[in-house]
Amino acid sequence: MSRKRETVLVTGSSSGIGLDIARGFLEKGFNVVLNARNEKKLSEAARVLGQDNPIAWVAGDIGNKETGEKMVRAAVDRFGGVNVLVNNAGIFGVKPFLENSEEDLDAFIHTNLKGTYFVSQAAVRQMKKQGGGSIVNIGTVLVLHPTASLPATAPLVTKGGVHALTTSLASELAADNIRVNAVAAGTIRTPLWGDADVDSFSGTTLMNRVGEVGEITEAVFNLAASSFTTGVILPVDGGYVHGRS
């Protein structure tokens, strides 16, 4: 007997880690709902992932409450429900503490914190109706182990909030059969780094290299599938938190 295909929502899936997570879940037989703000890049991502695959996409800013609601509606209308949410969309930037303006801080709160919170609310509402589900958030090891060479208080206070949301939601929602975990990503080779030489961070890890997107996808999939695991914040960082130099 064939098993019903499950459905995953992946925010920020037009680029980098999110795009690869979408690819990975499709490969595992999931239906996928993609999201990002830039519609052109998002439709191109859907094309790259394969037009014959079970993909829906919702262009929109996750900091606006309606975006998560639209993603859930797309999942229910097209695929019949939501089983997994990957809160991946996020922004990062390095700036010394005293140089951050109110606008800088608001931008990180809007996307990283409010966005993750609102999409989770929309998905949890649906998961409760279905009797359970699984959420995986993308955090960062810089919350656990900041470094003076990357001053980033504005993004990090919001990613710290994502870590707190992970553990507090895990405790609130376990009774509803909803598990909530996070990957605390180390330095991963993605377009987020722009022109920066990402390999220059290799020496900060025990493994003497930066990570590749597929290595985050692997951990996200495993957390989503681990039926007795909730409230875990898993560093996927080549040993960065233990330091090398």
- Interface residues with ligand NAP (CB under 6 A)? 11-18, 35-38, 41, 61-63, 88-92, 111, 115, 138, 140, 185, 187-188, 190-192
Residue 100 CA neighbour count, 13 Å, CB half: 20
d(CA 217, CA 26): 11
Least separation in angstroms between CB 90 and ligand NAP: 2
Phi, then psi, of 29 in degrees rounded to 5: 95, 15
Judging by beta carbons within 10 Å of its beta carbon (0-12, 13-18, 19+), is residue 204 exposed, middle or buried? buried
If the CB atoms of residues 31 and 35 are measured against ligand NAP, the closer one turns out to be: 35
Least separation in angstroms between CB 92 and ligand NAP: 5
d(CA 166, CA 136): 8
If the CB atoms of residues 48 and 174 are measured against ligand NAP, the closer one turns out to be: 48
If the CB atoms of residues 91 and 130 are measured against ligand NAP, the closer one turns out to be: 91
Give one DSSP letter per residue of 150-191, joined into a string.
Answer: S--HHHHHHHHHHHHHHHHHHHHHGGGTEEEEEEEE--B-SG
If the CB atoms of residues 111 and 230 are measured against ligand NAP, the closer one turns out to be: 111
If the CB atoms of residues 82 and 143 are measured against ligand NAP, the closer one turns out to be: 143
Are the C-beta atoms of residues 90 and 138 closer than 8 Å to each other?
Answer: yes
Least separation in angstroms between CB 140 and ligand NAP: 4
Which DSSP state fits 190? S
Which residue, among 18, 96, 94, has the nearest Cα to 57 in the 3D structure?
Answer: 18
Least separation in angstroms between CB 133 and ligand NAP: 20
If the CB atoms of residues 84 and 138 are measured against ligand NAP, the closer one turns out to be: 138
Least separation in angstroms between CB 36 and ligand NAP: 3
d(CA 115, CA 138): 12
Least separation in angstroms between CB 99 and ligand NAP: 20
> Amino acid identity of 229?
T
